[in-house]
Every structure is written in structure tokens, then in C-alpha cells.
Amino acid sequence: MDYEELCLSVCEIARKAGGFIANERKHFNPDKIESKGLHDLVSYVDKTSEKVIIEALSTLLPESGFIAEEGTSNKKGDRFNWVIDPLDGTTNFIQGVPVYAVSIGLLEGEELVLGVVYEICRDECFFSWKGGKAYLNGDEIHVSKTSDMHDALLATGFPYSNFSQLDSYMGLLKWSMTEARGVRRLGSAATDLAYVACGRFDAFFEYDLKPWDVAAGAFIVQQGGGKIADFNCGESYLFGGEIIASNAPLLAEMQQKVDEFMN
């Protein structure tokens, strides 16, 4: 398998889907919004983008299956499965807030081997493949070297439907606000992780996530020299719903505080 060639092809697929999304935003009709659950929105744009992506990936790797947010394909691959969020940051898109992305990761068995995050509004494509480095629009990127939490800019996401850990999370957020340089919430986990990969954010943490939110971004962080863990300091971040992403110096402190407040 030529992962590099495959990855570059996926970048083009993500850009094509992103172009469709950007064009639809110009005349988006909010009457076409649907609700999948409490504060969990979807539109024809998400669904059409996913269909475009799946069709292209099926041509690229015919034997592959899909783990996709909108469920437009339930095909399972014996060896390869794409993990897709066709529009990460749907609420931002609907409201016209310019932070949303296409996220495409590839699992070979249980191992992530490729990741592409295309942040549409800034025309920034973050990508990496197994055996390669991490890139932003062709330029190599790395996680930050920040080692002091007081110098760190953190990112997180706010729960919007699962409030079971809200009190604990607020304690962690208070600590983050008082100890770090700042805390940001963009509304797109894929973009948050991509920003960790290129050093814009020094760390990211969130709970109640899905595989398609984090697969591509987490892989790119690791390829950019970063570290990924779940809230129990383990490796169940992909399907476990919890993630911490940072550089090596900050990860231990982040893990300690997440364990203190959330476990």
C-alpha cells in the first residue's frame, strides 16, 4: 500500500467536498435543518458531502468500508475502514461561524494509517500518512514545544447533549482558565486537533466525542510529534469518547488534572 499516494488523493477528495460545502453556505436555507437529538443538528449539506466522499473513496479503495457520521453507508471492510465526518462543526456552518472542516481517517485493522482534515474557511489541509510526517498545505508541521502550563493555550469543547460529567468538567475548565494562558472553544474537534498538530494550540481535551470527530486529527497530532490519550491515560480515545492531545511535556500534567477532576 502506497500510503503517501493514497493520502494525497484523499486530500483532493476532502477539498472537493469542502468546495461543495463552501458553495452551499452562500445560499444555505436554514429551513432544511434536521435534528438528530438534543442540540445535534444535520442538514442536506452534511449528507450530500458524505455521499460525495464515500463515492470517491469507494473508487479509490474499493474493498474499504465506512464508519461515517451520517450513516450513508454501512459497508464494513475486512481490512480497511474509512472514518468520516463530512462536516465537523455543523452548528458553526449553520450559524455562519467560519470554523468547520472535513475529516477523513483510515483504519487498517485497528491501526490509524492516514488522516486528512480540511478546514474549509481558511483553505487549510492538514494531512499525514503512515511512515510520513505531518503537513499543512504541503509544509511540514510539528506540535508546540511549550512545557510550562502558564505559557500554554488550551482548546476544549463544551458538552451539548451529554451533561453527565458537567460538574466535573467545570472544575477542569476552571483549572484550565486559571493555570493556562487561555482556553479556546472553536466548535470543531477535528480543527482543534489539527491546530494542536501545527502548534497553534498546546493541548486539547474533550469528552462525549465520536470516532469521526477525532480519527484524522489525532493521527496527524501523533505524526507531528504529539501524544494522544484517553481520560484514563490509555489508548481508547478513538471509540472511548474522551481525548487529550498535547506535546509530551504537557501531556502528563494534563492527564493528572483530567484524572483529578473527571475520574
Which residues line the annotated binding site for Mg(2+)? 69, 85, 87-88, 213
Do residues 234 and 246 make contact, with C-beta atoms less than 8 angstroms apart?
Answer: no
Do residues 119 and 89 make contact, with C-beta atoms less than 8 angstroms apart?
Answer: no
Which residues are known binding-site members? 69, 85, 87-88, 213
CA separation for the pair 21, 235 (Å, rounded) = 33
Measured over the CA atoms of residue 99, residue 92, residue 101 and residue 109, the dihedral's sign is positive
Rg (CA), the chain: 17
Measured over the CA atoms of residue 157, residue 195, residue 112 and residue 237, the dihedral's sign is negative
**Secondary structure (3-state) at 210:** coil
